Each structure stands twice: as C-alpha cells, then as structure tokens.
Amino acid sequence: MDMHAPLIDPFARPINYLRVSVTDRCDFRCVYCMAEHMQFLPKAELLTLEELDRLCTTFVGLGVRKLRITGGEPLVRRGIMGFFRQMSRHLGKGLDELTLTTNGSQLGKYAAELYECGVRRVNVSLDTLDTAKFAEITRWGRLAQVLDGIKAAKAAGLQVKINAVALKGVNDVELFDLVKWCSDEGHDLTFIEVMPMGDLGNEDRLDQYWPLSDLRDQLTERFTLLDLAERTGGPARYVKLAETGQKIGFITPMTHNFCESCNRVRVTCTGELFMCLGQEDNADLRAPLRAYSDDTALREEIRNAISRKPKGHDFDYSRQKIEGQMTRHMSHTGG
C-alpha cells in the first residue's frame, strides 16, 4: 500500500479530523471534568512539543485536514504558541483548519498571536454568565477573565463558538439568557450533554443530566427551530432560530447515534491514539515516536489503529445505569 495513502477506516469512513490534547493540566477545575486536587502526569510522560509536531505533521501527511488543539487547557502549556506557529506551516498545504478548544482564560494574552498563526475560529467553553455559578462550576475560574478573553478573540478577528455543557439545576434557568447573549455578541452556541467521564466521586453526573431533547423543547417555546443539514462528521446537529438567525448546536453523544459519519480520532497528551471517544481501545504512538527518528513506524502504528476503529460507542444513560462508563476524564482525551 502507498505509505502516504489517506486514512480510511473499516467502515469506509475517511479519517481527516484529528484532535490533539497537548496537556492534562488546567487552570480551572470544572466539577464535571476534574477533581479539585488532581494528580497530573509527570512531565516525561507528555509528548514534547517537537514530538507533537512530528505526530501532527505525520497525520497531515496521511490526509488530516482539520486539527483541533485541546487539553486540559491547551493555552497553559508552556511554549504552545511556538507549536501553533509551527503548525501554521501546514495551512493551505494539506491542512484546511487549525483550531482549538479553550476555557478562554488565556485568550486575552494569546488571541492576536493565534490569529497570526492562521487560527480563524476558536471554541470557548462557557456554561454560565452568572459570576457565582461560574466560580462554582469551574472552582478556580473567574468569569470576568473569560469574558475579557472572548472580547480579545473577537477583536483579533477570531470567530468564537461557545460550548456550554447542559447542567440541570445549574444553567437550565439561563437558557434564554445564554441564547440572547450569543445572539447579541455574534457567537454560535452549542450545547453538550454531560457525559459520564471518569469517576470524580463527589458528584453524581446523573443528577445533572439535562437531556438536550428537553432543552430543545424549551427553545421551541420561544423560537422557531429550523433544522440545518450541516454535518461536521461529529456528534453535533444544528438548527437555526428563525427569529434571530443564529445557529444553535446540540451535541448529544448519549441520545443520538452519530457514529456512522465519524471522521475523527483523538490523541492524548501522552500520545495514545483513541479511535473512538466511547471505547478504551487505543494505540501507543509515543513508543514509535521515541524509538525512531524516522516516521515509518509511527505511520504504520497509525494505520494499524485506524484499521481497528470501531463502528460506534457504548454510552447509554437510558437504563439509569451508566453502561459503557469511561474511566478516563475528558481532560485526558480532550473532549
């Protein structure tokens, strides 16, 4: 087989979207994502920025057209702007989009530089516009800093999409405020169903589970929802609100089967390649990265892994028991 042939999985899905977690650390401690006192990985376990460069470059060589940098909080990794600058060399030469998912806390510092590196869109996670609730959810975060970061991103020319985890008893009462704020500010808005990731011990995720079907029903009380055909290959579905023209997304990993069009894989900050967010099977890409200065073995390992990409995942809340519960945290796989 041609060493550089694009990645196609056993279900004929082309794999052209890579999400890479560049750190397990974060300046926040969101309750659904991390414990307050986290034991982070020793630095030697993390891929170096050079290794991350080789890894991403290899994937671009194998047909990846969209690269999303995530974490942990990607913008707290030291030297990360150098990495973005390096990755920008692939834009227009295989790579169509370089982007990131961030909690927004460092955007005030880095937004302009991200734009210079060819980033045009960022996803910012923001669940509430209420200062006290924000501090409660993120434990260590401050709302004002994130709002300033979002302003800076906008001023730098970045398109901002807001991702909000739907949390019953937390931001359900704010649904229309969030929608209005995003409309006023010109941000797209996507809601994410809270997922049973990790075992944080202190809170029962099921208590906070707010099905997006309910959220959608509430929206229809005030707006006309027009389904959009747009598909990203991921778990998001979009509607347009006829009254405001704004786009709202729903990421429903539990209640919808989106796997048939899956075009993505994830790499953790230690170089594990996960072929599916909901399955444990993974491939160690750090070993070939560290064992050889040449990328042949790395490419082979990637191809092998893609040939094992499963058809779909096993989450299921419907039986009030979390089937297929994942023991790893979102901060590990990067969401």
Provide the mask over 152-191, with x wherever binding to ligand SAM is found by CB under 6 A and - wherever it is not: -----------x-x--------------------------
Q: How far apart are CA 310 and CA 321, in angstroms?
A: 23
Among 111, 182, 197, 212, binds ligand SAM (CB under 6 A): 197
Sign of the Cα torsion 39, 332, 32, 322 reads negative
Minimum CB–partner distance for residue 95 and ligand SF4 (Å): 24
Which amino acid is residue 162, in one-letter code? Answer: I
Scan for tokens 């302009």, then name that residue.
112
- Part of the chain binding ligand SF4 (CB under 6 A), chosen from 69-77, 230-238, 258-266, 310-318: 69-77
| CB-nearer residue toward ligand SAM: 263 or 333 | 333
Distance CA 335, CA 135 (A): 21
The binding track of 84-113 with respect to ligand SAM, each residue x by CB under 6 A or -, is -----------------xxx----------
Determine which residue in the list 125, 208, 246, 282 makes contact with ligand SAM, applying CB under 6 A.
125
Interface segment toward ligand SF4; rule CB under 6 A; list 26-34, 58-66, 167-175, 283-291: 26-34
Q: Taking CB under 6 A as the rule, does residue 249 contact ligand SAM?
A: no
Out of 20, 47, 57, 72, name the contact with ligand SF4 by CB under 6 A.
72
178 binds ligand SF4 (CB under 6 A): no
Half-sphere exposure of 165 toward its Cβ, with a 13 Å CA cutoff? Answer: 20
Nearest approach in angstroms of CB 37 to ligand SAM is 17
The one-character DSSP state at 53 is: H
28 binds ligand SF4 (CB under 6 A): yes
Q: Does 150 bind ligand SAM (CB under 6 A)?
A: no
Residue 9 contact among ligand SAM, ligand SF4, none, beta carbon within 5 to 8 Å by kind:
none
Q: Where are the alpha helices (DSSP H) in the chain?
A: 49-61, 80-87, 107-116, 131-138, 143-156, 175-185, 205-208, 212-222, 286-291, 296-306, 330-333
For 131-230, where are the alpha helices, taking DSSP H only? 131-138, 143-156, 175-185, 205-208, 212-222
In the stretch 30-49, what mask flags binding to ligand SF4 with x, by CB under 6 A? x--xx---------------
Tell me which residues in 17-76 interact with ligand SAM (CB under 6 A). Answer: 26, 32-33, 70-71, 73
- Minimal CA–CA distance to 275: which of 249, 237, 236, 301? 301
d(CA 151, CA 109): 11
Question: In this structure, are residues 298 and 285 in contact, taking their beta carbons and an 8 Å threshold?
Answer: yes
Q: Which of 312, 274, 275, 271 is nearest to 288 (CA)?
A: 271
Binding of residue 328 to ligand SF4 (CB under 6 A) = no
> If you count them, how many residues does the chain have?
335
Where does this chain bind ligand SAM (CB under 6 A)?
A: 26, 32-33, 70-71, 73, 101-103, 125, 163, 165, 192, 194-195, 197, 330-331, 334-335
